[in-house]
Structure 1
Amino acid sequence: MALSRLAFVGLGSMGMPMARHLVAAGFAVSGYDIRPESRAVIAAAGGGKAETVSEAASGAEAMLLMVVNAAQAEDVLFAQGGLDALASEATVVLMATCPPQAVSALAAKVAATGRRFIDAPVSGGVVGAQAAKLTIMAAAPVDVLADLRPVLDRLGDRVFHVGTEPGQGATVKAVNQLLCGVHIAATAEAVSLAERVGVDLAVVLEILSGSSASSWMLRDRGPRMLEADPPVTSTVDIFVKDLGIVLEAGRGAKAALPLASLAHQLFLSTSGRGEGARDDSQVVGAYRALNGHTISGSSGPTR
């Protein structure tokens, strides 16, 4: 099935560049976001102007949802009339990070109307969205995914077919976020110990980054832990949400996840101190609070 008309809902820091990539690729994209300024930006970029969800969805052959959570997705599709406004054989592509059980329930409601559903969460953050280099973890029947590949290939450089059932993509994303969150927390713990004993943190990170102890998160987040106010690429509150989803997935599978639970508490305590909007590397502040010291510049601790 050739696709030409798309609806894109959720024009935030990731959704906006994603929608703009699709416009640049020649798709007719009607974008919607609760913020009028975001609707104006996508219209100025060549997208269709829509003042409501149903207007953006009207007659579209696919709707991509880059919203905050499953509750927002359900609201867009049902309370705001997005699903009914789509073409009768349209496909809903849920790209937000959501609990697997919630995705399965949402997919069943979509399927009951005769429309199709792809569970396709993404990894790569704002940088990946801007560069069209997201990793997309898609769960859908083979033929359904094949129809949407021209769209997904414009958004990511790695599109994986992880299963045929809704919820499988969300589960793979939960596994990914478990490791990301735990790796950030572990990096923060290592940095905190190095701070406590007063060694040169820049040298420590250089050593660790080239050793068997290294991880992508250590190399990326570690240097930002040495900054007093680093730029935000992903917030503390994103991991409060995502690790909460990980723990929900664990409960659903009756799987014990003690490391994920501890990491969640560290991010939660950082958010609870009013730092939820800061870069997620600042979970290191939870350790600094426990150990009674703070960072001064980028050279080490003040005790």
Structure 2
Amino acid sequence: MAMPKLIIDESMLERIVASFTGLPITMGPDGKMLAPGTVDLLDADHTISRWMPNDDRTGMFVLAAEACRDVTFYSERLIDSKTRRRAMRGVTVPVCKLMDVTALLVSRMNDKTTRDARAQWLNADRKTYHEVAKRLRKSRLQGPVRWVRNKIGAHLDAEAFTVGTEYLKLDDILGAFGDCVVLLTLSMNYPSSWFSWIRDLGTSPDGQQHIVETMFEYPLCIRWVTDLDGHPITLSRAVLAEDPMHELQAQMFEAANAYNELVRVTGTQLPLITMNPIVDAAGSAQKKSATNNFLQSIRIF
């Protein structure tokens, strides 16, 4: 499989230049400023540490993506009629975790700034987000999946193993799973600057300093030198890095595909999840002019 690439067009260059203003930067191999083109992503070097969430909101998104992966683990057993009943009981645990984290993330994304950002979404996306969030909160969170999960958690409650799967329908599980996948996927419409990341690159040769990188807006990555307690000593440099959300996006696609496959194979009446890419058709001439203006304000140290 070919390694992913970062394509820097005029629009992306404008964002990079604006972010670099007043900061030391890494220039290209020819010693000149960054220019539009193709740049290999840093994740081609698998010796570099993985990105970790650097705030609660990002952490909740990562936990939700992990819960999606746990739910998809049960896909084959939910499809097989011989293992379905046992799988339906087992999957209630990750589905409840997924619902809880997704609902918490949605509630955190309800301030004025976030609502204003959603106002810029496509009308269909905005309507879907509101409808699904309402259904998750009012119907799914304390629905049949939670009831069976609580019964199983009681350990000695035999009712969980006798009437549990009669009370719990596959549509209940898939409905909750699908609603969460939709909300998480739509949440990727928020600006990348709303999610922050950090990764540890190691220590200095004398063992007295840490080297860490942070990303507050893709693709700009800031490398810091800190003391052993994590207090910044100096800002080392700014470089381009891979998008930490890329891996989460891949997990969301996998979860959506698993949901759609379950809906098709099991014959439930739930709707499929469809995703349509959005193409930015803004004028390139205007972007180029703006980019040139930004270039004049960069300071190189």
Q: TM-score, normalised by structure 1?
A: 0.26
The answer to which structure, 1 or 2, has the higher relative contact order (CA under 8 A, 6+ apart) is 2
The alignment's TM-score, normalised by the length of structure 2, stands at 0.26
